[in-house]
Amino acid sequence: MLKYIYKALTPRYSIVVLLAAALALSCEDTITFEVNGDDHYQGTEEAYGFLRNVSTSRTSTAFDLGNDSPVFIPIYFGLTKEVDENVTVSLTADASLVELYNTENFTEYQAFPTTLVTVPSTLTVQKLHKNSMTVEIEIAPDPTLETGTYLFGVRATTSSQEITLEEESRTLYYFVRVIGDIPTNDKPGGIKTLCYVEVNGNNILNVGQYVLEDTGEQFFDHAVIFAANPRLDPETGRAYLWMNPNVRNVVDNPEIYVRPLQRKGIKVLMGLLGGDDVAGLASLKDDALRDYARQICDIVEHYGLDGVDFDDEYAGYVHPEYPGSGTQMARLAIEVRRLMPDKVLTLYEIGAGTNMPSTVDGHVMADVFDYSQQVYYGSWRDNSYIGMPRARYSPTAIWVNSTAVSTYRNHAQRIVDGGYGFFFMYDLNAVDATDYISEGSEIMFGQKVKLSGELYGKDW
């Protein structure tokens, strides 16, 4: 049974609430589409060089840094064509790049101390090869650093006359989210989990009550507040983000419903649900798209959330002036990613999410989003519509206490056997689900789960 069939039965409210907050510093007016990958160089006879992360083609990535363990980031240097000599590339962690980034993007990120960053001094692409060997950047923890997001950049230079090295291809940016003593919840096998919570009737705090029985890590890594909706103001024609009273109560009381989860290492996302209005996630263009992306940015920054989930589930796009398009939804996500490079973006693959091109305006959509999940409960889909790699894709959707246990166990085993790194569940409520969740947890993590405290009912 589909989630959207169930959600159509949940109460909807008619009170319009529009957040009136100053634009966050990271939200600027212009939209610029960067070019990732090698498409930019097709048709040229020159050999171009590019510095890349192994895991993504994005030129800016984010990660958490605790107090105990260093973080290792694999990178390599590539060429668009082989050349007749060895190409030696020098790498440096350049503090001036932070000032450059802040100036170009109207941001005020603090520089991460480069004394804590170890970068290999050189990379070499051997003669008649296109890629160097993979090396690792090491980022060391420092308990004296205040929590928050920091930034540093790594730049590549070369004296080789055989290659052309453009500015946008020679630099990688890293957003370091210093989390201090907050646990990283790195479970055995490395599988990450996400749960939607229908806050119209349930308390999101229950996501933080399920822990692995032996080692104590949180079972859930992400919690989605379900959900805010795009609406169109009939008088001004402006699209805005609308939140019903239940969603508003959660975000208006972050110390009660958000911070306790974050202190447990759980990232809290705002769900963006295309509703029964002409302004859907896939119908906005140009100024309206940029304005709506800024509003999303405002809400995430204002309430201290960790990101957003895109769910184009209800919008019918019946208005001729607002047709739905997978490409337009992709552009909205690209702009949100540009405004929030250090936040988590996830995609519920439904509606426009099923016809979104894998590459839009030079952006690989599987790199714009951090994770994506299929939507049909109890079913299995091997491949993501946007080409999300297995390490960041959930091919299954499990409805807590509703999907058959045999199906849940079977899919958990297929997650492990297939090398998938993401697992999606829906509709956690105040009913004890330890026995049910344990059926898959034993397979994925080698442990059952237990409650770390009492479950919460809706208390507002």
Q: Which residues are marked as active site? A: 313
DSSP result, 346-401: EEE-SGGGGS--SEETTEEHHHHSSEEE--BTT-B-SS-TT---GGGEE-BEEETT
With beta carbons less than 8 A apart as the criterion, state whether 401 and 433 touch: yes
65 residue type, one letter: L
Q: In angstroms, how far is the first alpha carbon of the chain from the final one?
A: 30
CA distance 157 to 167: 10
With beta carbons less than 8 A apart as the criterion, state whether 400 and 427 touch: yes
With beta carbons less than 8 A apart as the criterion, state whether 135 and 157 touch: no
Half-sphere exposure of 394 (CA within 13 A, CB side): 29
CA distance 126 to 124: 6
State yes or no: cis peptide before 227, omega within 30 of 0: yes
Task: Give, as one character, the DSSP assignment of residue 2.
Answer: B
User: How far is C-alpha 314 from the chain's CA centre?
Assistant: 22
DSSP result, 54-94: SS-S-SEEEEEEESS--EEEEEEEEESS--SS-EEEEEEEE
Query: Measured between alpha carbons, how far is residue 116 from residues 65, 154, 225 in Å?
Result: 12, 13, 35
Both tokens assigned to 304: 């201290």
- Tell me how crowded residue 258 is: count the other CB atoms within 10 A of its CB: 22
